[in-house]
Structures are given as C-alpha cells and as structure tokens.
C-alpha cells in the first residue's frame, strides 16, 4: 500500500508484534507498492526509498506494478539485488490513475499481458513471485481469470474477495476464496485470502472454512501494531497506545520526512486514538492490501511460524468515547476531561512529531487529574 506500509510502520509492527520471536509475527512483510516504471526512470532514487527495509523485517517481499514487461523485468532484477525474499505483482489495485497506466486491476481485463508480466518477473527475480488480485473486474470471473494466473505457476496468489467494481462497498465474499482454493488444488500455488478480516481469531476461522493457505490483513492492523503477538492476552492501555503512537511518529519523521508529507501519519492517529471500529469513515476503510499475511507462506524463506494460535486484536475503543479504562495494573485516573474526539481533532492539526508528543502528554496528564 502506497503511503501506508512504509518502513516506519513496518518497524513498529515488527517491534510490538515481536516479529521473529516465539509467538510473534507476522510471517511475511510487504513493502508499499512501487511503480516499476518509476524505478526505470530518472526518479528512481526517490522510489528506492520505498524499497528500504531493516533486517528485522525478513522475510521481506517487494510489491511492484506496471503494464510494461521490460520495466517489470528490470525492476525484478533490482529487487533481487536488494536482497528481498520475494517479489509481489499488484494486479488488483482499483485506483483510476493506476488503471490508466494499464496496471493494477486493469490486468484482469488483459490476461495475456498479465501472464507476460508474471513470466518476465519470474525471470528477472529468479525467486518466489506472487500476485495480488481480485475475484474479477465488473463481476466475479475466477473461472477464466484464475486459471490464467495458475498457468504461470506463481508461488502464491493473494485474492481480495471483491471485484474491482465493488471496491469496499459490499462485504468481502469469502465463498469465492474457497472456490479459488478448490481451483488451485494440485497446482503448487498457495491461495491467500484477503478482505474484512479483523483479527487472528477471524483469520483462523477463514482458513478453516475456505481451506486458504494464509490470510492477509489490512485495515485490522491500523492502531494495533501488536496484532500478531499471540502471547499478549490484554490489550494495551490508552497510555500505552499513545506512547506507541508517539514512537511511530518520531520514527516516520526520522526515516521519511524528507520524502513524504507528515499528513500521511494522520490516518494512523485516528486509529491509535479510536481503535479500528472508531476509525469508520476515514480513508483507512478504503485500503485493500496489507503489510503481512497471518499464516505461513512457505515459498518465502526464513518464515518463523506456520500458524498464529491466539488473537490479541481487540477493539479497545468499540463503544463510546468515554470508555478509556486503563489495563495491566494501571489506575484508571480521572478520564476524561478531554474526549478522544477532541484529542483526534488536535492531532489532525499537527505538523511534526514534537507537536504530537506535546498534545498527547497534556492529554494524559489531564486524564490523571493532575
């Protein structure tokens, strides 16, 4: 996801989900999706920053997009040289600007070009190549679309359980993930389901009902970077959530402030303050892809665990704004003299990390009755 699964966000997830440790996760990280055309242009150096990652994030998969096979081949070679564990091709993005380039979901309408793109990527990367797509364009067309993808023998296909036309306007239709799993039997390609999964309990349920090899999470990770830590049995308190938000903001400023606008952080502020449910109506709900998959993707090397066994993603603020009780032995304090809604409004006006920290510290001090 452009401007979402950036290096700062992934590092926060890796830290608070205890990635690489026993009981931690996720199993696989994906970069923001990056234009292969741009990587072959004079603006390459700036786009290379979108492919930056830390050693803490392995296994690490780079996601790219283009409708030009020669650019895909060159970008795939570049991704290989950067030490990525896998390469993912975006063939599902519904953004009109991306589609005008013949990329993203537009590939669903041109299976022959899609196959050519996949094959040159496999040649250039010489490692596991996966695909992110949808169940169809204007309507579900798995019977014709999926076999074309399977013919190229990708390592995995992540399928968002909606058509391009449906965007996020209807609930994800998981019966078509089961259909895709059945179609892919014996192909050697993993089928990863995606769409509306809120936590690891639901991810396991989807695996059981569809037979999918893995589940990709998107919106659920906003405001809950500890989501994949199966050892956590209590949700972080409000104080802890806001401390993580401050840390995330400073890390974004340190790593990315010279190339990305600070406003990118504001989608995260709303999620940290209000939780997944409380963020309804924001741009978070329009995001389709995700930073990770919750079950093992065996073609990608160095994966630490095969299954997540306990869900810790709980919607901490799924009721009214005044529910701000602390947990893990902390005193509740005099919450609230200022509501989360008021805090969120103040955070939306910030321009740098120090402003965010000042507002949050003041908010927490008021909450303690000081």
- H helix runs in 5-158, sequence order: 7-16, 36-39, 44-48, 69-81, 96-100, 111-125, 142-150
For residue 341, the SS3 value is helix
The rounded distance, in Å, linking the Cα atoms of 155 and 187 is 10
> What would the two tokens of residue 294 be?
């919750």
CA count, 13 A, side-chain hemisphere, 18: 11
The pair phi, psi for residue 86, each rounded to 5°, is: -160, 165
The answer to whether position 73 is within a domain reads: yes
- CATH assignment of the domain containing 61: 3.20.20.70
Strand partners, 130: 88, 156
pLDDT of residue 211: 97
pLDDT of residue 338: 63
pLDDT of residue 218: 84
Q: Could you tell me the residue range of the domain that residue 56 belongs to?
A: 28-218+287-293
Each residue's pLDDT, cut to its tens digit, for the chain (370 residues) gives: 677 889 999 999 999 999 999 999 999 999 999 999 999 999 899 899 999 999 999 999 999 999 999 999 999 999 999 999 999 999 999 999 999 999 999 999 999 999 999 999 999 999 999 999 999 999 999 999 999 999 999 999 999 999 999 988 899 999 999 999 999 999 999 999 999 999 999 999 999 999 999 999 988 898 999 999 999 888 898 889 999 999 999 999 999 999 999 999 998 999 998 754 433 433 333 333 333 433 344 344 433 333 332 232 233 333 333 333 443 334 334 344 567 788 889 999 999 999 999 999 988 887 554 4
The answer to whether position 100 is within a domain reads: yes
The rounded distance, in Å, linking the Cα atoms of 2 and 343 is 26
C-beta neighbour count of 174 within 10 angstroms: 19
pLDDT of residue 275: 57
pLDDT of residue 368: 53
Residue 86, H or E segment: strand 86-90
pLDDT of residue 342: 86
The answer to whether position 179 is within a domain reads: yes
> What would the two tokens of residue 32 be?
């923001």
Question: Is 93 an annotated catalytic residue?
Answer: yes
Q: How many domains does the chain have?
A: 1
The pair phi, psi for residue 64, each rounded to 5°, is: -130, 165
The answer to whether position 214 is within a domain reads: yes
Phi-psi category of residue 3: left, alpha or beta, with phi > 0 → left and psi -120 to 50 → alpha: left
- DSSP secondary-structure letter at 317? T
- Indicate which residue of 93, 105, 177, 246 is catalytic: 93
pLDDT of residue 337: 54
CA count, 13 A, side-chain hemisphere, 75: 34
- Residue 247, CA distances (Å) to 133, 273, 343, 354 in order: 33, 14, 17, 11
């Amino acid at each position: 996801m452009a401007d979402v699964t950036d290096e700062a966000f992934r590092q926060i997830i890796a830290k608070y989900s205890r990635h690489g440790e026993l009981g931690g996760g996720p199993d696989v990280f994906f970069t923001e999706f990056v234009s292969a055309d741009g990587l072959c242009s004079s603006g390459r150096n700036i786009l290379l920053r979108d492919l930056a990652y830390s050693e803490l994030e392995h296994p690490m998969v780079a996601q790219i997009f283009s409708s030009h096979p020669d650019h895909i081949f060159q970008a795939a070679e570049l991704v290989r040289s950067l030490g990525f564990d896998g390469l993912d091709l975006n063939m599902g993005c519904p953004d009109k600007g991306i589609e005008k380039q013949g990329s993203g979901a537009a590939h669903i309408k041109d299976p022959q070009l899609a196959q050519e793109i996949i094959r040159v990527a496999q040649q250039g990367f010489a490692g596991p190549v996966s695909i992110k797509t949808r169940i169809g364009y204007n309507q579900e067309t798995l019977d014709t679309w999926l076999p074309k993808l399977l013919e190229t023998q990708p390592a995995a296909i992540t399928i968002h359980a909606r058509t391009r036309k449906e965007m996020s306007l209807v609930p994800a239709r998981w019966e078509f993930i089961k259909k895709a799993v059945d179609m892919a039997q014996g192909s050697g390609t993993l089928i990863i389901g995606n769409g509306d999964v809120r936590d690891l309990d639901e991810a396991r349920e989807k695996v059981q009902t569809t037979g999918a090899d893995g589940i990709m999470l998107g919106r659920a990770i906003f405001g809950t970077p500890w989501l994949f830590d199966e050892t956590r049995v209590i949700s972080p308190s409000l104080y802890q959530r806001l401390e993580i938000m401050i840390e995330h903001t400073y890390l974004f400023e340190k790593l990315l402030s010279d190339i990305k606008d600070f406003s990118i952080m504001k989608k995260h502020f709303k999620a940290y303050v209000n939780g997944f449910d409380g963020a309804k109506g924001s741009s978070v709900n329009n995001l389709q892809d995700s930073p990770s998959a919750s079950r093992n993707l065996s073609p990608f090397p160095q994966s630490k665990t095969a299954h997540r066994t306990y869900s810790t993603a709980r919607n901490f603020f799924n009721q009214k704004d005044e529910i701000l009780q602390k947990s893990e032995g902390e005193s509740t304090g005099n919450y609230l003299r200022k509501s989360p809604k008021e805090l969120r409004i103040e955070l939306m006006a910030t321009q740098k990390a120090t402003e965010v920290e000042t507002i949050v510290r003041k908010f927490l001090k008021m909450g303690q009755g000081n």
